[in-house]
């Protein structure tokens, strides 16, 4: 169960980064101001996803003592 928590938090960050990458490719198809505003929101979502990943994974690592089987950094 702990590994599932680690995996899904890391996947969440990857999913947001991929969505932001796809969004960046749509810049020429819409109003620049709208694209910039949504890009700002994606940036904030990515920052939040990373913060949530790190906080949650750290909590469960410290409580369980179970390391990530994939060797990813957990603080």
**Residue 16 falls inside a structural domain:** no
Question: Is residue 51 one of the residues assigned to a domain?
Answer: yes
pLDDT digits (tens, 9 = 90+) for 10-68: 999 999 999 999 999 999 999 999 999 999 999 999 999 999 999 999 999 999 999 99
Residue 15 lies in a domain: no
Asked if residue 54 belongs to a domain, the reply is yes
Range of the domain at 51: 39-67
Can you give the three-state secondary structure of the chain, one letter per residue?
Answer: CHHHHHHHHHHHHHHHHHHHHHHHCCHHHCCHHHHHHHHHHHHHHHHHHHHHHHHHHHHHHHHHCCCCCCCCCCC
- 63 in a structural domain: yes
How many structural domains comprise the chain? Answer: 1
Q: Is residue 43 part of a domain?
A: yes
| Residue 47 lies inside a defined structural domain of this protein | yes
């Amino acid at each position: 169960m702990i590994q599932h928590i680690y995996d899904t938090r890391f996947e969440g960050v990857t999913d947001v980064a991929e969505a932001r990458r796809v969004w960046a490719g749509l810049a020429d198809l819409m109003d620049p101001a709208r694209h910039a505003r949504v890009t700002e929101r994606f940036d904030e979502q990515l920052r939040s996803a990373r913060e949530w990943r790190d906080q949650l994974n750290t909590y469960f690592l410290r409580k369980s003592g179970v390391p990530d089987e994939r060797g990813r950094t957990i603080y």
